[in-house]
Structures are given as structure tokens and as C-alpha cells.
Amino acid sequence: MHNKKGENNNSGNHIPWRTRGFFFEDYEMPKYEYEQQSRFSEVKLSLNKVSFIFFIFLVIAFVFGSKIIYLASIKKENYFTNKLAPSVFLKRQDILDRNNNLLAKNVKLYSAAFKPHFITNKGKLLINLKLIFPSIDIDKIKKKIEIGKYFYIKKRLNKSEWKKLWLLGDKSIDLNEKQFRVYPHESLFSHVLGQIDDDNSGISGLEKSFNEKLTESKKPLVLSLDANLQHIIREELISGNSIFQTLGSAALLMEIDSGEILSLVSLPDFDLNERKNIEDPIYLNKITKGVYELGSVFKTFTLAAGIESKLIETNTLFKDLKNQIICGGMPISEHVKLPTNLTAEEILVRSSNIGAIRIAQKIGVKNYRKFLNSLELFEKINFELEEIGTPLPFKWGKCTLETASFGHGITTTPLQLTKAYAIIGNGGYNINPTILLNKNISLQNNKQIISLKTSKTINSMLRKVVLNKKGTASLADKKGYEVGGKTGTARKAINGIYNKEKKINTFVSLFPISKPKYVLLVMLDEPKSAPDFVYEFSNGYKLKGETRNTAGWNAVVVAGNIIEKIGPILATNNLQASNKL
Amino acid sequence: MRNVLILITLISGLIFTSLIKNKTRLLEKELLYLDNEINILSSDLSEASLDFHYLTTPKRISLLAKNFLNEDFMHYKESQINKSIKPKKDLTVLKKLKNDHIFSQLSTSEFINKKTNFTKEIESEQLLIVKKIDSQKPQKSKKIINSKKAQQWMGIQIIKALLGIPTIPFE
């Protein structure tokens, strides 16, 4: 192991072994070099280890770092709603009115149920139950326990009841958390909102038609309805029902430009919080589902068709109008004795049946039919609720034109009638009634069905129906609100025969008529005459002992009262009042 | 030196990792805690809003108004408002003001006469109103010092003087 180079190494001068010449001895590794090499490889190895460990730490740091960034960057809403928010608030969204008043809400409540197989001391348990729920029927509970099937003791427990049951610590009592739908306005919106079943699925009304949206959306459903207006209208209808002893009544208030429904009331109604199986037809939604012959309210369309087709004008005189005619073997007469000569305007103001027939005959079946179809009165309307009535089909046979001219022999829903009046009032533009709040509705984009001139002419005529002393709706003349409208008294057909006593009385009004903004329909089902009621006219004249029960003596009164009360809320410009002061 | 570097890297890696991990865990805990708090608060808010909406339903408010308010705020006709505005004199003045345009249709002399009469009438009305207001105005309450209070004050001042406390001048 000794050589020349080795000496140099010993002297401390380092000469790299690779630069040396080839010697046999080189095959043997010098000790020093061997040590150097092994150290070098050790360092190399340990450096690799360090970089590996460093890499692992880096990965871990990156993972945690990215988690921190993730937690910091995510939106709180998503984080909470997706992972941690209690599911009870996600099952079904709230329903709000146009002023954000709550109409329906899901709440978390407890239900108490029995698991009969786990009962150990039946007697003690029943005594405890009686103490907690004094009104409970113990015999009924006993029978159910004997059957041995799982059953509910009480749903919607209050906090104290839940606590008392929980403190019993009985295995057989199952306190399960459930969500229930609560309706703070009770019966106010019953026909609109509808009901849900035990599994929180809508079974009627908006709850059914918007079931998907309510269960999947993160936002509440906002309606165009107004709770305050709805309450006032409902109260007035209830008052009208008691005065005129009706079977039921309904009202619809709609914006004529947008088609947004501000109020939809149908009486009788029901409390949505008390789940009931409603089968009695009296509870049907009279506005959307009810299909009726609505009578003289159709005369407005007859006049509009005549004016639109330029066959008649306001002052067109119709001579020799008989008090009764026979059509298809059936007599058609006036509701009161009227003059034999009437202008087109007077025909509407005084609601002449024979006059309306003469106008319709002048228009002809084809044109008249086309006009009514353009108002979509006889098709099923496209509306958000499930409960929609389909007008009864009819043939334009002999006498159909004559009877249709004054609203008999043809049927439609009050919703469609209101829509048609809105079209007449808004300048002739088509609208689609809606129950959802929609701020982006532009009337000008809609199809124009009748001309602006016809619309204005009809509006002025409708005003005269209310303003004129001989008009049929003078009781609706409320100072400042410029009410215009048309009455309709239709006899109910029972088993194919028109009943003289049973009537459907309707009044459709537009206000303020100089520039109509709202259309209000009031319908009374089988109103009776009210001889004890004091009728008050706008000129201060009072009348008592009236025995007639046509629309002018009941539906008009109710509508007038409604307009007088909702007018200030709607902020209708009360022109007469402002001029006076 | 290298060993030291390795050791430092190792230790600092360990420390940083544990620090980051702990910080993450703490943040997560805090988030969970905050989330629970938010849930409780939102649940309370939801219940409270339900209570509020139930208590402020038009039906309930009108029922409360019927039971507890003496006044009927429901409806007031214009004719009733006119009646409540009276006395008559004020109304006649208002009517004359309203019919002011009639003056413009009259001749100038008539117009001046009517106008002066009218202004006199208004002035007299104003005088009457001012008198009424004056008579109704409560007299300014003068500070009346009764004898008892004065005696008390005098007594206190004497005691103060005896004790050497400076006396406060009487207001």
C-alpha cells in the first residue's frame, strides 16, 4: 500500500486520485480515499433523505395550507347551507306576499308517538299521559296499544309538552322531530296557497303547482298578492254574505297593465293550519275553478265588438226595441220595462237584453265569435294554480248569438272575465293574469286585441253605468275613485232549467276610469234581497225596503264598499277629493 | 454544518406542520362554533319572525284595534271630515278663498271693494283667533318663594356662618 503518490498524500497535498497514472497498486483503494469516498456517499444519501423528508413536509404543509385557503375563500352561505344548516329549513321554502309578509313557513316541531312493544308499565304510562294531555281519550289510546302498531299520540307538541314527555324517559314514547307548514294568516289565502301532505309535498293550490320550486329553490316564493288588501276584501265579502244571505262569494283584484293579482278571495274558505279533507263543492275556488254563466257583464263585449268593427257608435240609435222576443221557442225579455228607442250607450247603461241582441245581430255570428275568441273567454286559461276551470263547450247554433250577447248560454270563469275586462280597460292589450310578483312586465310588448279608441269609448260608457241615475251600478259611485263597471245578474241553471230565485250576481269594475289601473270583480252566489238594509247613494239619498236582488242591489254595494276601503291603500289619485280641498 | 442545516429543516418542518395543522384545527373549530351560533340565531330569528308575522296579521291587528282602541280608524267618509272641520266661520273664509277667481270676473271697483271687505274680514278673524290664543295661553309661572322655604334658607345660612362655611347668595 506504499507508493510515490502516497507520500504526497501524507504530506497533506491533495491530488485527486483520478489524475494519477496507472499503477497496479491502484487496484487497491487507498485507505484515505476509501474513507473520503464513503463519507461523500453518506452525505449524498443523507441529502436525499432530507430532501425526501422536506418534500413530505412540503406536501403536508401544502395540504393544510390549501385547506386554510379553501376555508377562507368559500362563501359562508354555501358552507353552512350545504353542510351544517339544519335540514328543516331546506325542505320547503317560505311563501311571501308582495310586501314580504309571511304567508307560509316551515317550522321544526316534535311529534309524540307510541311504540307499543316497548311498553313495560301500561297503567302508569296512561296515567302520565292523562296528566300531560288532560283532553286525551285514554280508551282510544288503550285500543291502539292493544293493536300493537306504531301510532301518533299527538303531532305538533309545544315545548312544555315535549319536555314533560321527555322527562318520563319511557322507551315506548318516540319523540321525533318533524317539520310542519305554518300559515300565519290562517284562512285568508286558503284557496291560493292550498295544502301539503304529511311528507311535505303540495297537494293543492300553489303548494302543489310550485312544489318543485318550493322544495329545491333557496329563495322564497314571492307572490303578487297583498295581505292587507286581501283582508279588507275578505271582510267586506263576509259582511256582504251576512247582509244578502249568500251561499258564498268571491272577489278578484288585478292590475290591468301587468295582470298581477293583488287579491283573490273565495268564500267559504278554510283554515290551512287545521288539515282537513275538503270535498264539499261549496269550497271550490270560485274565481279560477268555478265556471258560470255570468249574464249582462258580457254586454260590454257585445258593445266593444260593435264599436271595434265600426258597425255602431256611442250614439247609434236602435229603434222599436220590444220588451220581449221569442228565440228558439224561448222568451227573452228585459229585466225592467225600458224605452223602445235606445242608443248603443243607453243599451249598456240600462242593460237592455233586447238592445244587446240587436247589436249582436248587426255584428253577425262570425265576427262576434271571432271577437270573443280573441279575448280567450272560452279556452282553458293558462294560470299558475292547479285548480283551473274549463269553460263548458257549446255550439254556435240557433239563438246562441242572441243569448251570448247578454251573457247566457255561454260560460267562463270569473278569472277569464276579469282578464277580458282588463284588456278592454288597458287600451286593448292582451295580458296574462299572474299570481307571482313580476316587475318586468311591459304592456306595449303584448298583442293589441282592440284599438285604443274602442277601449276609451267603452271605458266612458262603463263610467256612465255607475254615474248615470238610470245606470245599474249607481251604488258603486264612490267619490274620488272614478268607478266604472258593469253588472251581471244570471239565473242559475239547475237540471237544465233556469231558476228565477237562484242567481249569480257579478259586478266588474275598473278604476280610476280616466286612466284605469285596477279591475275588481265581485261575485255573489245566490244573494237574497235585503229589505232591512239601508242603501246609501253618493248624493246622500238613502233607501230602505228594497226587495230586488239583482247585482245592482248587492254585488255593486259590496264592490263599492271594497273600493272605498282599498282606494287609499292603492294610493289611487282621488281627483275629486283633491280638487275639493 | 450540513447536519445542522438538516436538523433545522427537519425541526422547522415539524414545527411549521404542527403549527399549520393546529391553526387549521382551531379555525375549523371556530368555524363550527360560529356556525352553530349562527344556526341557533337564525332559528331564533326564524321563530321570532314567525311570531311577528302572526301577531301583525291584518286580522289580528283589526281584532286588537276593535278590542282596545276607542277610536275607529277603519274608515272615515269625506262628508264626515267636512263636518269635523267646522266652525262655520272658518268654512266661509275657506269658501271665499276658493272662489277667489270670481273676483277677477267683477269690475275693478267692485273687485277692490270686495277685496278690502274680504281682507277686513280675514283680519277680524285673525284678531279673534289671536285673542282666543292669548286667553288660552297659560301665564308664565313666576317663582314664588313661600315663607317656609325662606325660613329654611335663612336657618341654613346662619348655621353656615357659625361654622365658617361661605354662604351662597340668595337667587
pLDDT tier, A119 (very low <50, low <70, confident <90, very high otherwise): confident
Closest-CA residue to B71 (of B82, B53, B88, B84): B84
Residue A189 and residue A307 share a domain:
no
Stretch A262-268: mean pLDDT, rounded? 95
Residue B162: CB atoms within 10 Å:
8
Kindly tell me if the per-residue pLDDT of A145 is higher than 60.
yes
Residue of B nearest to A109 (CA): B47
Q: How far is B132 from chain A (nearest CA, A)?
A: 26
Name the domain boundary from A73, A104, A121: A73
Residue A64 and residue A180 share a domain:
no
Residue A244 and residue A142 share a domain:
no
Q: Each residue of A470-495: b (16+ CB within 10 Å) or e?
A: ebbbbbbbbbbbbbbbbbbbbbbeee
Residue A62 and residue A93 share a domain:
no
pLDDT of residue A326: 87
Residue A186 and residue A116 share a domain:
yes
Is B50 in CB contact (< 8 Å) with chain A? yes
Tell me the C-alpha to C-alpha distance, in Å, between residue B71 and each of A105, A232, A401, A561.
34, 18, 55, 20
Residue A545 and residue A440 share a domain:
yes
Interface of A with B in 561-580 (CB under 8 A): 564-565, 577, 580
pLDDT of residue B140: 46
Name the domain boundary from A38, A73, A108: A73
Interface of B with A in 106-145 (CB under 8 A): none
Q: What is the CATH number of the domain that holds A214?
A: 3.90.1310.10
Kindly tell me if the per-residue pLDDT of A574 is higher than 80.
no
Q: Kindly state whether residue A422 falls inside one of the protein's structural domains.
A: yes
Q: Kindly state whether residue A80 falls inside one of the protein's structural domains.
A: no
Q: Kindly state whether residue A82 falls inside one of the protein's structural domains.
A: no
pLDDT of residue A82: 45
Q: How far is B107 from chain A (nearest CA, A)?
A: 27
Measured CA to CA, the distance from residue B132 to residue A557 in angstroms comes to 46
ipTM value > 0.85: no
Contact criterion met (CB below 8 Å) for A194 and A208? yes
Of B16, B75, B78, the CB nearest to A565: B75
Stretch B86-113: mean pLDDT, rounded? 55
Phi and psi for A220 in degrees, rounded to 5?
-70, 160
Among A24-28, A238-242, A545-549, name the one with the lowest average pLDDT.
A24-28
pLDDT of residue A424: 95
Residue A534 and residue A516 share a domain:
yes
pLDDT of residue B153: 80
Residue A92 and residue A35 share a domain:
no
Residue A436 and residue A289 share a domain:
yes
Q: Kindly state whether residue A275 falls inside one of the protein's structural domains.
A: no
Q: Kindly state whether residue A428 falls inside one of the protein's structural domains.
A: yes
pLDDT of residue A444: 76
Beta-carbon separation of B9 and A182 below 8 A: no
Interface with chain A: mutation pick from B2, B4, B5, B6, highest number of A CBs within 10 Å: B6
pLDDT of residue A88: 46
Interface with chain B: mutation pick from A57, A70, A91, A186, highest number of B CBs within 10 Å: A57
Residue of B nearest to A235 (CA): B59
Contacts of A231 in chain B (CB under 8 A): 57-59, 62
Kindly tell me if the per-residue pLDDT of A87 is higher than 50.
no
Q: What is the CATH number of the domain that holds A244?
A: 3.40.710.10
Stretch B105-116: mean pLDDT, rounded? 55
Kindly tell me if the per-residue pLDDT of A90 is higher than 80.
no
* Most confident region among A431-445, A512-526, B93-107, B109-123 by mean pLDDT: A512-526
pLDDT of residue A398: 80
Residue A34 and residue A91 share a domain:
no
Terminal-to-terminal C-alpha distance of chain B? 92
pLDDT of residue A8: 45
Residue of A nearest to B49 (CA): A102
Q: Kindly state whether residue A197 falls inside one of the protein's structural domains.
A: yes
Burial class (CB in 10 A: 0-12, 13-18, 19+), B15: exposed
Interface of A with B in 28-57 (CB under 8 A): 43, 46-47, 50, 53-54, 57
Of B2, B13, B78, the CB nearest to A479: B78
Interface of A with B in 491-530 (CB under 8 A): none
Q: How far is A429 from chain B (nearest CA, A)?
A: 35
pLDDT of residue A532: 92
Residue A105 and residue A172 share a domain:
yes
Interface of A with B in 446-485 (CB under 8 A): 479-480
Residue A166 and residue A55 share a domain:
no
Beta-carbon separation of A231 and B59 below 8 A: yes
Name the domain boundary from A223, A241, A260: A223
Interface with chain A: mutation pick from B57, B60, B77, B90, highest number of A CBs within 10 Å: B57
Closest-CA residue to A185 (of B3, B85, B60, B42): B60
Is B2 in CB contact (< 8 Å) with chain A? yes
Residues A550-573 have pLDDT tens digits of: 999 999 999 999 999 998 888 655
Residues A331-340 have pLDDT tens digits of: 888 888 888 8
**Domain with A506 in it:** 230-270+284-580
pLDDT of residue A580: 44
Kindly tell me if the per-residue pLDDT of A294 is higher than 90.
yes
Provide the mean pLDDT of chain A.
85
Contact criterion met (CB below 8 Å) for A88 and A179? yes
Residue whose C-alpha cell is 244570471: A490
DSSP chain B: -HHHHHHHHHHHHHHHHHHHHHHHHHHHHHHHHHHHHHHHHHHHHHHHHHHHHHHT-HHHHHHHHHHH-SS--S---HHHHHHHH--HHHHHHHHHHHTHHHHHHS-HHHHHHHHHHHHHHHHHHHHHHHHHHHHHSPPP------HHHHHHHHHHHHHHHHHTPPPPPP-
Number of inter-chain CB pairs under 8 A, A vs B: 94
Cell of A219: 329563495
Q: Kindly state whether residue A79 falls inside one of the protein's structural domains.
A: no
Beta-carbon separation of B50 and A105 below 8 A: yes
Kindly tell me if the per-residue pLDDT of B118 is higher than 70.
no
Q: Kindly state whether residue A177 falls inside one of the protein's structural domains.
A: yes
Instruction: Provide the number of structural domains found in chain A.
Output: 3
Q: How far is A239 from chain B (nearest CA, A)?
A: 14
Beta-carbon separation of B17 and A57 below 8 A: yes
pLDDT of residue A442: 77
Q: How far is B42 from chain A (nearest CA, A)?
A: 10
